[in-house]
């Protein structure tokens, strides 16, 4: 019951006029960011982060998480109405959402999407609520070696479960770590990889990198592929909303399955994008109406949406509890936590219970507010996309460049944003995953510090990673995951060789 008391305390923190206003503002900004192409959740949260430096951490996290929920909802809106995913994680929603809208069932599709997304999100928060008490039990057993093994596990699971080819994932991670080492070394005080450039002493800010890779890179991609917004009828009919809500419980199996997939993928760093695709695939295979998928089947909207949002909320648990973000957006928020002077990890649940539970309570409220607001504002945001892209596009570019300046007030960062924009375009084209790079940049320093502290404790012996059952289990699991894709590839090639007909002389 301790969790319930803490949650009630959290609601007391979150339910002030100030905080509810921030939630509404965050959700609206998020929907805007989600609807506009080129601005996604990671980028939107990054642009807002410099503004939160002067806020208290609870208000700041409420604003940022609400923006995240809003962006997830906004991304689904454009997927359904325009067949253009506002977010990578809502690509799977286009498969059945757009056909539904084209057949004049837009209201139905949107209602199914938002309600099931809200359901997935709430289930994700419930799981966080239940598991959080468990995390505090762990807290005191965590030392530097445990932290490092958990970081190791996070990166190895990216290589094992991630979307990109394993070698390219390794390149992304190594690049992220390398960028993180630029600047002053926090252990020895040495200036690393600065090559005597003054602009490099501050290090490379991951926020500027996010703006470049996601913001400008996404714009380049959108532009190069050419965009045209052909909206399906965006009017919302209240009666259709109610009838869709009434029919929603029929799809409880799909919703529960989607939530389970999402929560699992959110806690292990698989991320919302992978979760929504996996959930769609599972639903298609297991549904009786599987053959109708892709032609406007409500289940094909519900499955990816529940998983997407469940993953989005569930990703907050490893971020708070272990300092490992489950998605790129969570990685940006993690960076925010450190800038606000908080130390993510199990101790956070003991030292800053008000922050943790205020945030969890705000996740319940923010998602309910999100569902209502997004339904109410669909026509408004749909109308916004009738402004020609030749106006919206350049304005988004200026928002990104100005955002890059607000990170540190350095003219050099503007150039970095442009260079990383080009890099982001190339990475997308060539299947180099971007999220691991961001993750490595955010936790690179912490991972290195944790490793070096544990080495100092063990007098330079690597066996410290197997010194206790807890840390040993995590380290071993990490190595197994790291090896798994390469073993699988080896086995595949061996089997292929066996099946090959004998060479003809």
Partner 1 sequence: MLSRMQLELAAVAVVFVLGSLAVIGALEHEIGWASDGPQAGYFPFRLGIILIVASLVIGAQALASGARGRELVLSRESGRRMIGFFLPLVGYVAIAQVLGLYVATALYLGFVLRAMGRHGWQATAGVALGVPLASWMLFEVWFTVPLLKGPLERWLGLA
The binding site for partner 1 (CB under 8 A) comprises: 50-51, 167-168, 170-171, 174-175, 177-178, 181, 185, 187-188, 190, 192-195, 216, 219-220, 223-226, 388, 390-391, 393-395, 397-398, 401-402, 405-406, 409, 411, 414-415, 417-418, 421-423, 425-427, 429-430, 432, 448, 451-452, 454-456, 459-460
Report in angstroms how near the CB of residue 166 gets to partner 1 at its nearest.
10
Q: How many Å apart are CA 109 and CA 81, to the nearest integer?
A: 9
**Cβ burial 270-298 (10 Å sphere, 16+ → b, else e):** bbbbbbbbbbbebbbeebeeeeebeebbb
Report in angstroms how near the CB of residue 50 gets to partner 1 at its nearest.
7
For residues 386 and 229, the answer to whether their CB atoms sit within 8 Å is: yes
Structure tokens at 295: 């032609």
Q: Which is nearer to partner 1, 68 or 177 (CB)?
A: 177
**Cβ burial 35-66 (10 Å sphere, 16+ → b, else e):** bbbbbbbbbbbbbbbbebeeeebbbbbbbbbb
Report in angstroms how near the CB of residue 262 gets to partner 1 at its nearest.
31
First to last CA, the chain: 76
Report in angstroms how near the CB of residue 228 gets to partner 1 at its nearest.
13
Report in angstroms how near the CB of residue 421 gets to partner 1 at its nearest.
8
CA torsion 293-296-298-299 (nearest 10°) is: 10
Report in angstroms how near the CB of residue 9 gets to partner 1 at its nearest.
31
Q: How many Å apart are CA 52 and CA 458, to the nearest integer?
A: 39
Q: Which is nearer to partner 1, 368 or 457 (CB)?
A: 457
Half-sphere exposure of 124 (CA within 13 A, CB side): 37
Q: Which is nearer to partner 1, 61 or 122 (CB)?
A: 61
Report in angstroms how near the CB of residue 458 gets to partner 1 at its nearest.
8
Q: Which is nearer to partner 1, 249 or 411 (CB)?
A: 411
Q: How many Å apart are CA 499 and CA 330, to the nearest integer?
A: 45
Q: Which is nearer to partner 1, 216 or 363 (CB)?
A: 216
Q: Which is nearer to partner 1, 8 or 402 (CB)?
A: 402
Q: How many Å apart are CA 22 and CA 31, to the nearest integer?
A: 14
Q: Which is nearer to partner 1, 354 or 449 (CB)?
A: 449
């Amino acid at each position: 019951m301790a969790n319930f008391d803490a949650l009630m305390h959290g609601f007391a923190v979150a339910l002030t006029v100030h905080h509810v206003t921030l939630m509404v503002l965050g959700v609206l900004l998020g929907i805007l960011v989600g609807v506009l192409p080129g601005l996604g959740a990671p980028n939107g949260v990054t642009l807002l982060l410099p503004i939160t430096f002067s806020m208290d951490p609870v208000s700041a996290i409420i604003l940022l998480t609400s923006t995240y929920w809003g962006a997830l909802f906004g991304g689904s809106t454009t997927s359904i109405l325009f067949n253009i995913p506002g977010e990578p994680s809502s690509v799977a929603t286009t498969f059945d959402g757009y056909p539904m809208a084209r057949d004049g069932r837009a209201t139905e599709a949107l209602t199914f999407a938002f309600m099931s997304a809200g359901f997935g999100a709430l289930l994700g928060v419930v799981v966080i609520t239940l598991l959080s008490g468990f995390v505090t039990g762990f807290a005191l057993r965590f030392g530097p070696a445990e932290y490092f093994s958990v970081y190791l596990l996070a990166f190895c699971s990216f290589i094992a479960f991630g979307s990109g080819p394993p070698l390219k994932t390794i390149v992304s991670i190594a690049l992220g770590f390398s960028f993180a080492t630029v600047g002053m070394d926090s252990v020895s005080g040495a200036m690393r990889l600065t090559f005597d450039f003054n602009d490099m002493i501050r290090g490379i800010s991951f926020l500027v990198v996010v703006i470049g890779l996601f913001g400008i890179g996404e714009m380049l991609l959108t532009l190069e592929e050419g965009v045209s917004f052909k909206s399906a009828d965006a009017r919302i009919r209240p009666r259709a909303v109610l009838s869709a809500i009434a029919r929603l419980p029929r799809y409880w199996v799909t919703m529960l399955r989607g939530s389970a997939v999402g929560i699992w993928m959110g806690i292990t760093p698989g991320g919302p994008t992978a979760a929504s695709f996996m959930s769609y695939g599972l639903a298609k295979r297991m549904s009786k109406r599987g053959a109708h998928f892709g032609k406007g089947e409500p289940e094909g909207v519900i499955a990816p949406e529940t998983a997407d949002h469940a993953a989005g909320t569930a990703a907050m648990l490893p971020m708070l509890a272990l300092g490992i973000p489950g998605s790129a957006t969570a990685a940006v928020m993690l960076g925010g936590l450190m800038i606000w002077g908080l130390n993510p990890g199990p101790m956070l649940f003991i030292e800053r219970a008000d922050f943790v539970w205020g945030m969890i309570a705000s996740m319940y409220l923010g998602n309910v507010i999100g569902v209502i607001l997004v339904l109410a504002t669909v026509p408004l945001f749909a109308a916004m996309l009738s402004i020609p892209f030749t106006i919206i596009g350049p304005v988004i570019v200026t928002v990104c460049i100005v955002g890059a300046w607000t990170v540190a007030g350095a003219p050099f960062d503007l150039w970095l944003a442009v260079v990383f924009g080009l890099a982001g375009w190339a990475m997308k084209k060539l299947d180099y995953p971007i999220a691991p790079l961001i993750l490595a940049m955010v936790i690179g320093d912490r991972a290195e510090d944790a490793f070096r502290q544990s080495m100092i404790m063990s007098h330079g012996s690597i066996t410290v990673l197997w010194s206790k059952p807890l840390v040993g289990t995590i380290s071993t699991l990490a190595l197994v995951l790291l090896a798994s894709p390469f073993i699988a590839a080896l086995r595949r090639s061996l089997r292929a060789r066996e099946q090959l007909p004998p060479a003809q002389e």
